[in-house]
Amino acid sequence: MESDKSVSNLKGQKRPINKQRDRAKVLSTLEVVDFIVNLKGILKNEDYDKIVEQISPKVLAVTDGDPNMIHKIRQAKLTGAKVKIVLRRLKNKSTTRLAEEI
């Protein structure tokens, strides 16, 4: 799970709306989630590769249209994992859009 600092750098100063701890708590309630890795700071692709190699998952779950899909595919090849799209973005639904409406 990306750090609050990483999300802020990506999405802007007022982000994240939900802190890393709270985002992890929500994800942890999903039956299909085995465990969550809370990341600290901003990482490079090589850092993510090392984490994936250490965990050695069978599946890398991704969101359809993930802008980092090429990296996820590369990471899956490192461990023999499968890349599986488990979430499709809902049109016009996002935390950013919700915050704008409030």
- Domain membership of residue 84 (yes or no) is yes
Q: In terms of domains, do 48 and 92 share one?
A: yes
Residue 90, pLDDT above cutoff 90: no
Exposure b/e, 41-67, CB count within 10 A at least 16 = b? eeeeeeebbeebeeeebeebebeeeee
Query: What's the confidence (pLDDT) of residue 94?
Result: 82
| Residue 101 located in a structural domain | no
- The whole-angstrom distance between residue 22's C-alpha and the CA centroid of its chain comes to 14
Residue 2 placed within a domain: yes
> What is the average pLDDT across 58-79?
92
Alpha carbon distance 32, 19 (integer Å): 22
Once rounded to an integer, what is the mean pLDDT over residues 59-87? 92
pLDDT tens digits for range 18-31: 999 999 999 999 99
Confidence of residue 42 (pLDDT cuts 50, 70, 90): confident
Containing domain of residue 19, as a range? 1-42
Q: Which of 6-15, 19-28, 90-99 has the highest mean pLDDT?
A: 19-28
